[in-house]
Structure 1
Amino acid sequence: MASQQSDGETVADELPFKTTADTTISRQEQIRQVADRTVIAPFRVMWSDWRAKVGFVIVVLYILMGTIGVLVNPTPYTGMGERYLQPFHDGWFSLQPVSVGGITLPLDPRFHLILGTDAMGQGIWSQIVHATPAMLKMILAGAVFSTIVATILGTLAGYKGGLTDRAIMTLSDITMTIPGLPLVMIIAAALDPKNPYLIGLILGINNWAGLSRAIRSQVLSVRERSFVEASRAMGLSTPRILIDDIIPDLMAYISIHFVQAARGIIFESVALYYLGVLPFTTLNWGVMMNLSYTTSGALYTWQSAHWIFTPMITIALFSVGLILFSQGMDQIFNPRIRARHVKSVSSADTDEEDEAPNPMTDVPTN
């Protein structure tokens, strides 16, 4: 719309919350404010909670293991060492001599098959590391896909209501009634997938339904709040209201369910690899557990027990890290907690304004 001014010029109407302040700030200050709001403040919130701190460190270590770790660790091959070497065996750590100023000193640390070997002499640690990238890809594909689909459909159903709500909820109810594991097994057997991204999508194909219904119930309460009613009264479009008002209010809830979906992808993939439903075309923690059980009966012999318990501990530690990190995400998306950790880049200017005389209060008295 446009409004006519007294001088005959036509200007665009401005919404109240789009009004520009009288004082302007430099581009550098704007960048500092954005960085403080979006990066520094959330990191302060996370670092103030020990659960988020521990979970963040664990998740980052797994990401580094799946990216940098595969570059510095050799690809596992048969005959890397003796069969059934135990973890932290004799010779797993040594200091190689280095010449410093003509003096030979043992300063170069070397690690050799730190977690032992399996029945074929392959390093357990190398298998754990090289199985991590495929697991991260499956999580990225499956958990992100199911979370995005559930968020879009759940918010749309809860906000629009009516026929849209009934259609989406009917689809989600039908999806929830289909047994998840048999469905995934049938699709995996039919497609014989080898790409980790495709495997992740298959594993997350029916995980969106429950989250979509849960998000819908949350939106039903959020859409009646005053700030949503104000946006609707101003004539804002539905996508704008969903993105700016409703979804940010649900981010803590969505992030927790994203972590739950990621854990589900881990457990399902490991189970299907262990059962042999998914092809043994790539390294996986489930493949290691399957081979350890079928090859040497790792559950019943101490000689090869480390072969099956090492991937189990790896899965459990990753799961704990994700749970702790999700609990910290609840604090990060809490606007009141974030506001307390935001450092104002214009605090000095504010202090100067407070010290300046106020013409409304500093009125001379007779």
Structure 2
Amino acid sequence: MRFASDLWRILRNDKGALIGGIIVAIYCIVAIIGPWIVQVGNDQDPNNAYLPPSLTHPLGTDALGEGVLSQIIVGARPIMIVGVLAAAIQVAVGVIVGLVSGYVGGVVDGVIMRITDVFLTIPGLPLVIVIASVIHTSNPVVLALVLSITAWAGLARAIRSQALSLRSSDFVEAARLQGVPLRNMIGRQLLPNVGPYVAIHFLLGITGAIYAEVGLFLLGIAPISGTNWGIMINLAMSQGALYTTDSAFYLFSPMAAIVILQVAFVFFSRALDSVFNPRLRVQ
């Protein structure tokens, strides 16, 4: 309850963070209920191709006369699912690796950190592109795993540094003397103390995963199936959106949806940062 009250107080004082939180909440609601209340593929009419915005189609239509807004709404769910899954995988792997490495130390720490260093030096995006082109799937779980293949390493190193500092603290020493098992030591003693950093990293991890996912669909590496924002941009580009104004709204609408979501996440993460770091709070 203390966390919720602090967050609400900060959101009231920081209008940017409040707006960001509202936008994130709206996107989440749209992703959850959007495909249930909006259907795509039912109102296609080539005679209405590339219509400008109107009351019937607020964001215009695509090459088949399908409303762009309905595609934005339906396409939010697959994009958000992969983004959240990828961020969750990054956080889970990074936290476990970092806490175990920092707390156990010794040879275990040395081996884990050398492996982590290897993943840090691998160019993440080219590796993701290569793997995605080989497996060629749009399965959200598989895509999330691919997008997370190197993204956990930076978090693992940061968590390890915090675990090293916590290892010599009084409460950890007391728990060790009481014979607390490693699993409980990590889960109950160390994890709560790195929670704030993990929460912020999770939010920002969603933004990075969404950008990478959209890029895979834009490049045609992930197969085009269903509707999502990356596929919309891909189709708009393939239909000559860079050379004609007819498909401008079809191209820029999903791009705008992505940018707005990313900015909202950044602003909302500022509120979380202020909750966990009182010196950053807006007075």
TM-score (norm 1): 0.70
Q: 2:52 is matched with which residue? A: 86
Query: Structure 2: any 5+ residue segments left out of the alignment?
Result: none
What SS does structure 1 have at the residue aligned with 2:119?
A: helix
Higher share of residues assigned helix: 2
Q: Per-residue displacement from partner, 1:110-158 (whole Å, max 9, x unpaired)? A: xx21111012211110111111111121012211011111001101111
Q: Is the 8 A contact 2:51 2:60 kept in 1?
A: yes
The alpha carbon displacement at 1:39 in A equals 4.9
Q: Is the 8 A contact 2:7 2:271 kept in 1?
A: no
After superposition, the Cα gap between the structure-2 partners of 1:174 and 1:298, relative to the gap in structure 1 and judged at 3 Å, is same
Q: 1:120 is matched with which residue? A: 64
The alpha carbon displacement at 1:201 in A equals 1.6
Higher share of residues assigned strand: 1
Find the aligned partners of 2:267 and 2:168 in 1 and give their Cα distance: 32
After superposition, the Cα gap between the structure-2 partners of 1:324 and 1:181, relative to the gap in structure 1 and judged at 3 Å, is same
Work out which of the residue numbers 161, 175, 181 in structure 2 matches 1:217.
Answer: 161
What SS does structure 2 have at the residue aligned with 1:302?
A: coil
Q: Is the 8 A contact 2:11 2:271 kept in 1?
A: yes
Q: 2:275 is matched with which residue? A: 332
The alpha carbon displacement at 1:282 in A equals 2.4
Q: 1:59 is matched with which residue? A: 24
Q: 2:98 is matched with which residue? A: 154
Find the aligned partners of 1:334 and 1:277 in 2 and give their Cα distance: 41
Find the aligned partners of 1:315 and 1:265 in 2 and give their Cα distance: 12
Find the aligned partners of 1:141 and 1:44 in 2 and give their Cα distance: 30
Letter in 2 for 1:307: Y
Q: 2:33 is matched with which residue? A: 68
Find the aligned partners of 2:70 and 2:127 in 1 and give their Cα distance: 33
The alpha carbon displacement at 1:48 in A equals 4.7
Find the aligned partners of 1:55 and 1:81 in 2 and give their Cα distance: 39
Higher-Rg member (1/2): 1
Q: 1:205 is matched with which residue? A: 149
After superposition, the Cα gap between the structure-2 partners of 1:76 and 1:125, relative to the gap in structure 1 and judged at 3 Å, is farther
Find the aligned partners of 1:289 and 1:41 in 2 and give their Cα distance: 40
Which one scores higher on RCO, CA 8 angstroms, separation ≥ 6? 2
Question: What percentage of aligned pairs have identical amino acids?
Answer: 38
The aligned length equals 280
RMSD (Å) for aligned C-alpha atoms: 2.4
TM-score (norm 2): 0.89
Q: Is the 8 A contact 1:76 1:127 kept in 2?
A: no
Work out which of the residue numbers 323, 327, 331 in structure 1 matches 2:266.
Answer: 323
Work out which of the residue numbers 241, 263, 269 in structure 1 matches 2:207.
Answer: 263
Letter in 2 for 1:201: L
- Of stretches 161-170 and 251-260 in structure 1, the one that deviates more from structure 2 is 251-260
